[in-house]
Amino acid sequence: VKFHSLAEKEVEIKTPDRLLSDFQRFLSNHPSYKKFENMWAELSEDVEIGLDPFTAAMAPRMAKLRDASLDNIPPAERAKSIFADLDVQFSDGVTLKELIPSSGEKLEDVSKDLLTFDVPLMQ
């Protein structure tokens, strides 16, 4: 599909190919992947972002965060502090899966702050 912009330049807009359309339909019908971030979390389960790339990406955004209590903390230090809070496994990396609360994603799941996990004592 081709359109002409105000500057009379020809602009081509790609329409999704069949594979992409089928993939979108698959995601929208999948019980877990209706939320795209769930599919992305599973796909990137073992992919982590480290402290340096996280700080580089977040520092400019932290500079835009206006809070009087944070004015004396440099943006990079704010990003490093947030990274430390997100790195719950202390692996020096954060995965998307770590960002999904173990208690659940819904607001009513917040009250499930103590979860029960069965841990075998002997093998």
Cβ distance 103 to 109 under 8 Å? yes
pLDDT of residue 2: 47
pLDDT of residue 13: 62
Q: Which of 45, 39, 5 is nearest to 24 (CA)?
A: 39
Residue 108: burial class (beta carbons within 10 Å; 0-12, 13-18, 19+): exposed
Q: In Å, what is the CA distance from 33 to each residue of 30, 36, 62?
A: 5, 6, 31
**2-4 and 10-12 as β-strands: parallel, antiparallel, unpaired?**
antiparallel
Q: What is the pLDDT of residue 24?
A: 83
Residue 1 is predicted with a pLDDT of 47
How far, in Å, CA of 32 to CA of 39, rounded? 7
Taking the chain (123 residues) in runs of 10, the rounded mean pLDDT of each run is: 53 71 86 80 81 92 81 89 88 80 70 64 66
Which pLDDT does position 56 carry in this prediction? 94
pLDDT value of residue 55: 93
